[in-house]
Amino acid sequence: MRTQVAIIGAGPSGLLLSRLLHLSDIDAIVLERRDRAYVEGRIRAGVLEQGTVDLIHQAQAGANMDRNGLVHDGIELSVDGTRHRIDLRELTGGSTVMVYGQTEITKDLNRTHDEMGRGVVFDALDVSLHDIETDTPRVRYHKDGQQHEVVCDFIAGCDGFHGVCRKSIPDPILKTYEKVYPFAWLGILANTPPVSDEIVYARHDRGFALFSMRSKTVSRLYIQCRPDEDLEEWPDDRIWEELQIRLGGDCTNRLETGPSLEKSVTPMRSFVAEPMRHGRLFLAGDAAHIVPPTGAKGLNLAAADVRVLYDALTAFYRSADSGPLDRYSQSCLKRIWKAQRFSWWMTSLLHNFPDASAFDLNIQRAELDYLIGSRAAKTTLAENYVGLPFE
């Protein structure tokens, strides 16, 4: 078949790009190697910058988000049991964030594709890219035992860290940068009310903890753990006990417990691949970059890539202007490295490092003391957390 843009991957970035292109009368197809139930069942991040919220509205997929999303004016830092509020709205002149799960965004975008009458090709196996350095790249895949080929103008690689698209860029051209952290997050989802109306980031001598939510009745909670943690050693009672200890202070008794709905260990890494374009292939989202979740930037960076790529593709098809496509990698990477810096800083500020010296620990405490007591420092955190402006 022939299309204008072949999109590999039906996560939020691939679906969002497809929807935006459809609304601009640009033909696209989305290929996903997993089935729909698997894709819609993945539990992921849920803190949205205003720019991401705006892009979802532009895609006409924000109705459920508007009804069920939780607008947050601030976040809280709990340092050894004492909580300190960072007023995002006041410090940034009105900016906020919204808590709305990535799982729900994926479902919302899939429904828009159903309404379009152009669903995603799920269970597309053995996807391979060909002729990406020519004007007519091709994508091959197997579906129901038959081989299919898509001829297109451009390929958008939205297929995640383990996908095929980044691997299709030759090694001499692709450069990667990576930092692996010596800890992970053990997370649970539970039908319990959140301990606070806003997200709480907790620093404690036993390790970091995060008290978040998916709604007013569903909590999303994390504790710092080893990367090789055995979930069998962490029954729910032990997790709740550890969460109460790390939250500390008067709010410990407000933490309601209950059976976990989902339990997982998330490794922590920083990763960047560049360039994000090779020939007619453009990488977006986790295919090009991974951030530790401390700064809540993963999904938002993917949406920012989609915004830049969508604008570049519309410029090409509407006015034959290839300049934005040529600048795509440079434009995205500028924002990505700033988000990497912020995510690294938040991670370094709040986690316990197993090889930290007494000097390192005192520097970390001094940094926290400065942040809590300085409006300038809190403003820097707030500006980065709500999302830096697009240039």
Q: Which residues belong to CATH 3.50.50.60 in the chain?
A: 5-71+100-178+270-349
CB hemisphere CA count around 232 (13 angstroms): 0
Residue-wise pLDDT for 113-165, tens only, equals 999 887 799 999 999 999 999 999 999 999 999 999 999 999 999 999 999 99
Q: What's the pTM?
A: 0.95
Measured from the Cβ of residue 215, the count of other Cβ atoms closer than 10 Å reads 18
Q: Are 48 and 69 in contact (CB under 8 A)?
A: yes
pLDDT of residue 252: 77
Burial of 89 (0-12, 13-18, 19+ CB in 10 A): middle
Q: Are 189 and 43 in contact (CB under 8 A)?
A: yes
d(CA 130, CA 320): 24
d(CA 257, CA 219): 10
d(CA 161, CA 181): 17
d(CA 136, CA 125): 21
Q: Concatenated DSSP letters for 173-221?
A: T-EEEEEEEEEEEEEEEESS--SSSS-EEEE-TT--EEEEESSSS-EEE
- Positions annotated as catalytic residues are 72, 201, 293, 297, 385
pLDDT of residue 118: 75
Q: What is the dihedral of CA 190, 287, 345, 83, to 10 degrees?
A: -20
> What are the residues whose beta carbons fall under 8 Å from the beta carbon of 16, sequence distance 6 or more?
55, 56, 59, 61, 109, 303, 306
d(CA 146, CA 144): 6
Q: Which residues belong to CATH 3.30.9.10 in the chain?
A: 181-268+351-386
d(CA 113, CA 96): 29
Q: Concatenated DSSP letters for 218-274?
A: -EEEEEEE-TT--GGG--HHHHHHHHHHHH-GGGGGG-----EEEEEEEEEEEEEEE
Q: Concatenated DSSP letters for 87-146?
A: EHHHHHTS--EEE--HHHHHHHHHHHHHHHT---B-S-EEEEEE-TTSSS-EEEEEETTE
pLDDT of residue 119: 73
The strand pair at 28-31 and 154-157 is best described as: unpaired
pLDDT of residue 278: 98
- What are the backbone angles phi and psi of residue 134, rounded to the nearest 5°? -110, 175
pLDDT of residue 249: 78
pLDDT of residue 239: 96
> What are the residues whose beta carbons fall under 8 Å from the beta carbon of 321, sequence distance 6 or more?
315
d(CA 171, CA 278): 12
Superfamily grouping for domain 5-71+100-178+270-349: FAD/NAD(P)-binding domain (3.50.50.60)
d(CA 330, CA 166): 17
Q: Are 337 and 272 in contact (CB under 8 A)?
A: yes
Residue in this structure with the two tokens 């020939």, named with its chain if needed? 279
Low pLDDT (below 50) residues in the chain: none
pLDDT of residue 253: 79
d(CA 38, CA 66): 25
Q: Which helix (H) or strand (E) holds 48?
A: strand 47-48
CA distances from 25 to 18, 222, 322, 325 (A): 10, 42, 18, 18
Burial of 322 (0-12, 13-18, 19+ CB in 10 A): exposed
| CATH code reported for the domain at 181-268+351-386 | 3.30.9.10
